Structure 1
Amino acid sequence: MAPVIGAIVQLYKEIGARTLVMPASIVTAKEVLALASLKPDHLTLSGAVLDELASKDSLASLDEDPKPHHSEVPLESDPVGAKPTGDTKEPNVKDINYLENGAAALREAFAADAEASRKMADALKIFGEMEEKTKELLRAALKA
């Protein structure tokens, strides 16, 4: 999905959209570097990923110098020069309606990217679980 995400970030910036792109569900330092190259507005990182980035072994394996980091880092430019791997041709998101025809184009984009499909399934599961927990808390509060 990196080409799609990159194209969307670029389009939002071109049209001056107020929508911010904030990738989450990042599980490795390598993903941080790849996502940073897409120039999103923020990256939200877990403590485990921050620990990995802080690790000298991790940084050495990524051939990067240690950089200060926070759990949410604004990215004004490509801070590390990382480039996504694989097919990086960005689709023309101005011409693709990912939601028409029952979201056929969106399903096709996910089908072409197993990792994006896995992450989306994980995210939907987590959001669903959190929705249920929130409902339970609200029900308990309303009964009290």
Structure 2
Amino acid sequence: MTMIVFGGITLAALIFSFVKSTSRTGDSLKKALAMGKSMGPQIISVLLVISLLLALLDQELIQAVLGTDNELFNSSMGALIGSVTIIPGIIAFPLSKELLINGAGYMAVAAFITTLTMVGIATSPIERSSFGLKFTLYRNSASFVLAIIIALIMGVLL
């Protein structure tokens, strides 16, 4: 239903733009098509990576590691996995949705996605060489604690 509403709004705006200036609307559509063509391989690769990850991780494993049976354990696992994983946001956000669909709990997914974006264990050697060991440890520790707090809040709200 939401897609129909957004599609209708988009179509109405396109018609309005076309009536207002046919040439500018045509130029914009050509640019949008060119951008879509250049992004096509990236979008397909994102879908392939998500499909591959979901094929490798069966629903029982997702529920055991990130499910809702033991929120503390599952959130800790989500936080640990997110801390050591390097996944671009464009892949991580759709993956998180699929994890929820396959039985992961909201707190665990919130911990996963928050630590994924805030904590960088895998990238800490680079950070350490630029900012020093003390800064790297403080930043990652503070980010991990804040990520757990965010996951707890999300668990209460959702």
Q: Tell me whether the two structures share a fold, i.e. TM-score over 0.5.
A: no
- The structure, 1 or 2, with the larger RCO (C-alpha pairs under 8 Å, 6+ apart) is 1
TM-score (normalised: structure 1): 0.27
- Return the index of the structure with the highest Cα Rg: 2
More strand by share: 1
